[in-house]
Structure 1
Amino acid sequence: MTSFIVEAHVGRVVRPEWAGDPQCAFCSILQKKLPAYILYEDEKVISILDIAPLRLGHTLVIPKVHLKHISELPEDYAAALGLAVTRVAKALTKFLENPGLNVVGNQEYAQAVPHVHYHIIPAPQLDAPRGTGTYNALNPPTEKEMHRMELEGRTELDEDFAKEFSDRIRRELSATASSHL
């Protein structure tokens, strides 16, 4: 049965937009031409740490097919992305001990890399001091101030943090996957 399915795809023409874009940073990561801190990977999806994180743990979930629009995703890739977002979000919230997060997917508007991807961004913790990616509940910023502070607070990904963090999240995801078998 499997050989019949494989044979049906031999010589199949792949849609050009699915083949990857040599100018796309995410396609270069998928082809291992650029380094990345991988948190999760399966046959359809990869999850990596953002190189310019808004907050500690800012993660991207990317399909292994080059498409610019979420609205163009085949259902099997959309399902794989949804599953990966759920698994990675669960591991992030457990590790960071912070259940709050944002999941964002852009299509053209605010899309820095023209390849479908979702951001999983841990929420600020309102009881911590300013300047730590969190906010003091006694003196909370306005929404406009919060957006400005978050944009100004973006820095490059710290390599030491990225290695330790990605190792721990991968272990958590591996343990979670094993418990579902």
Structure 2
Amino acid sequence: MTSFIIKAHEKRARNTEWASNDDCVFCRILNNEKSSSVVYEDEQVIAFLDILPLRRGHTLVIPKVHIPRLSDLPPEYASALGMAVSKVAKALTQALDNTGLNVVCNQDYAQAVPHVHYHIIPAPLLNTWNITDPDPNAERKQQESKEPGSDTKKMHQMEFEARMGEMDVEDAEELAKLIRAKL
């Protein structure tokens, strides 16, 4: 029914806003101006380890064009992202022997880099007593974020503070190799 509408857009010219953006850290990675630990890549998508991971294996999957909002993503890139997220998620669960994942894509709200990207974040591992959490103050910080006067900057700061710290290059490459072996 809607295939004629989709066909009409297949060969359309790329929007000028979709061009590479010099201020975008992801575009700089795509242009090889910044290094990354790539775990997956095809013609339309690239996936790499987050440099400030929430947990070991935190991976980002992005389109190879600069599109700030998911709602502006053309169907061919949405499809490629969906397939890549699924492939990387499977490899990540096998590499880490942990089937628990969070898959998140923000638009404007909580989107620190204005370039469409999916986060694939391994869930904390359960042990016999509790859930392993890198931040013992996470519950207090979450409550504070709900207090009146909270703003986006504060939320980003709290999210940043909860991260594990910058990933070591050698550890990142070892982990990326392990994940690539599962693709």
TM superposition score normalised by structure 1? 0.78
Give 5+ residue unaligned stretches, structure 1.
Answer: 1-8, 136-140, 174-181
Instruction: Identify the match of residue 162 of structure 2 among 130, 149, 152.
Output: 152
Equivalent residue number for residue 165 of structure 1: 175
Please tell me whether the aligned partners of residues 46 and 61 of structure 2 are also in contact (alpha carbons under 8 angstroms): yes
- Whichever residue aligns with residue 139 of structure 2, its letter is K
Extract structure 1 runs of 4+ deviating beyond 2 A: 141-154
Equivalent residue number for residue 109 of structure 1: 109
Give 5+ residue unaligned stretches, structure 2.
Answer: 1-10, 143-157
Please tell me whether the aligned partners of residues 103 and 121 of structure 1 are also in contact (alpha carbons under 8 angstroms): yes
**Counterpart check, 1:79 vs 2:79:** yes
CA RMSD of aligned residues (A): 2.6
Tell me the secondary structure at the aligned position of residue 177 of structure 2: helix
Change (3 A) 1:153 1:27: closer
Please tell me whether the aligned partners of residues 54 and 162 of structure 2 are also in contact (alpha carbons under 8 angstroms): no
Give the deviation of 1:96 after TM superposition.
0.6
Structure 1, residues 18-71: CA drift from partner, whole Å, max 9, x if none? 111011000010111110000000000000000000000000000011111000
Please tell me whether the aligned partners of residues 128 and 134 of structure 1 are also in contact (alpha carbons under 8 angstroms): no
Q: How many residues align?
A: 156
Please tell me whether the aligned partners of residues 54 and 151 of structure 1 are also in contact (alpha carbons under 8 angstroms): no
